[in-house]
């Protein structure tokens, strides 16, 4: 057993670090959500921000868009040219995806400054890509509402998680100490 622990020390360290960081960030995010009273920023600050930015982007590319609080659930309604096309819920704000991304990067940490910069840059890339994803999804749902399932359940999750996977691969192959020390 001791030989296996020694042999797979890096793998075990990665798994433990990943789980601890993921757990701490997830618990922190849930505390944030529970503290968010929704009075100023409904349903929570990040979801509200993503909703408002989605509205701004949609209007800037020629659609008459409005984003309004949903009266029956904690979400924001996206309305394009008077037609309700989508709702933005807490899960649409990319925070949980960023938590997953950060947990992996920290578990495969490189030099401190490089890791910090990559965490920040990657989080911004994910956030912006997610915002663009919501805008394109809203436009797709406006023009092709019968494609809702494939757009929302397959294509756009594949794109956002594919982006995270590519960022992970760049990190592992270019910046991580763990891979370099094994080479």
pLDDT digits (tens, 9 = 90+) for 116-142: 999 999 999 999 999 999 999 999 999
Task: Find out whether 81 and 66 touch, Cβ atoms under 8 Å.
Answer: no
> Is 107 a domain residue?
yes
Give the per-residue pLDDT at 183.
Answer: 47
- pLDDT band of residue 39 (cuts 50, 70, 90) is low
> Is 114 a domain residue?
yes
> Is 181 a domain residue?
no
57-90 residue pLDDT tens: 999 999 999 999 988 889 999 999 999 999 999 9
Task: Find out whether 159 and 133 touch, Cβ atoms under 8 Å.
Answer: yes
Enter the pTM of the model: 0.89
> Is 155 a domain residue?
yes
> Is 183 a domain residue?
no
> Is 36 a domain residue?
yes
> Is 66 a domain residue?
yes
b/e string for 8-22 if b means 16 or more Cβ within 10 A?
eeeeeebeebbeebb
Q: In the predicted model, is pLDDT for residue 9 greater than 90?
A: no
> Is 21 a domain residue?
yes
Number of structural domains, the chain? 1
Alpha carbon distance 151, 59 (integer Å): 21
Domain hosting residue 46, numbered range: 2-176
């Amino acid at each position: 057993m001791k030989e296996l622990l020694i042999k797979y020390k890096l793998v075990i360290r990665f798994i433990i670090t990943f789980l601890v960081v993921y757990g701490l960030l997830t618990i922190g995010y849930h505390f944030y959500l529970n503290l968010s009273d929704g009075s100023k920023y409904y349903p929570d600050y990040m979801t509200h921000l993503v909703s408002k930015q989605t509205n701004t982007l949609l209007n800037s590319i020629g659609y008459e868009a409005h984003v309004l609080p949903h009266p029956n659930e904690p979400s924001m309604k996206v309305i394009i040219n008077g037609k309700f096309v989508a709702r933005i819920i807490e899960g649409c704000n990319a925070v949980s995806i960023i938590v997953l991304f950060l947990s992996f990067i920290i578990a495969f940490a490189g030099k401190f400054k490089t890791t910090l910069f990559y965490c920040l840059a990657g989080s911004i890339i994910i956030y912006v890509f997610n915002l663009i994803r919501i805008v394109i999804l809203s436009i797709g749902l406006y023009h092709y509402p019968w494609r809702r399932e494939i757009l929302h359940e397959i294509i756009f999750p594949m794109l956002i998680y594919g982006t995270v996977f590519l960022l992970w691969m760049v990190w592992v192959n270019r910046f991580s100490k763990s891979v370099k020390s094994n080479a």
